[in-house]
Amino acid sequence: MKKLLMLVTSVASIMMALPAAAQFAKPEDAVKYRKASFTVMAAHFSRVGAMASGRAPYDAKAAAENADIAAAMAKLPWAAFTEGSDKGETRAKPEIWKDSAKFKEAADKMQVEMGKLTVAAKAGNVDALKTAFGPAAATCKGCHDNFRKE
């Protein structure tokens, strides 16, 4: 058991040390991965949004669970904007690679706002949730406007 744990730990640390590109055998795999993480994020984020806007009844536990998942997903897509993954089944704009500092700033901002959303959701108060939801949604929209084709 101890050996297994050591093996798992060392495999995990090797994986974390690998450059992002090494996680994907092909550019299409990176595209699929980032789309999947955005899809899951959007599903859970919009459940929080439904509560924040009153379209769904407020349920503190569900809000916290969904915000947590959205925040976890918000960490994932960025490493999948690998070199060469600007082609194929993607609406990613060339600006992602040309203006990568601006893209990273937008990605970081989203993660910060998603983090604030989870804090608000865990506070168990619908007004805190409403306050945090708007700025988080604005980070989604900001990236769509600047970095996603129609």
Closest distance of CB 88 from ligand ASC, Å: 21
Residues 6+ apart with CB under 8 A from 139: 106, 109, 110, 113, 114
In angstroms, how far apart are the furthest CA atoms of the chain? 52
Q: Is-contact 142 85, C-beta < 8 A?
A: no
140 is an interface residue for ligand ASC by CB under 6 A: yes
Distance CA 26, CA 138 (A): 32
Report the residue number, 64 or 117, with the smaller CB distance to ligand ASC: 117
Q: At its nearest, how many Å lie between ligand ASC and the CB of residue 20?
A: 23
The yes or no reply on residue 36 touching ligand ASC (CB under 6 A) is no
CB of 70 to ligand ASC, least distance (A): 9
42 near ligand ASC, rule: CB under 6 A: yes
Contacts of 114 (CB under 8 A, 6+ apart): 45, 67, 70, 71, 74, 136, 139
Site string for ligand ASC, 46-85 (x = CB under 6 A): x--x------------------------------------
Please list, in sequence order, all residues whose beta carbon lies within 8 angstroms of the beta carbon of residue 26, skipping any fewer than 6 positions away.
none
Task: Please report how close the Cβ of residue 43 comes to ligand ASC at its closest, in angstroms.
Answer: 8
Residue 40 contacts ligand ASC per CB under 6 A: no
Amino acid at 46: S
Q: Smallest gap, in angstroms, from Cβ of residue 50 to ligand ASC?
A: 9
Q: Determine how many CB atoms are found less than 10 A away from the CB of residue 47.
A: 19
> Is there binding between residue 147 and ligand ASC (CB under 6 A)?
no
Binding site for ligand ASC (CB under 6 A): 42, 45-46, 49, 137, 140-141
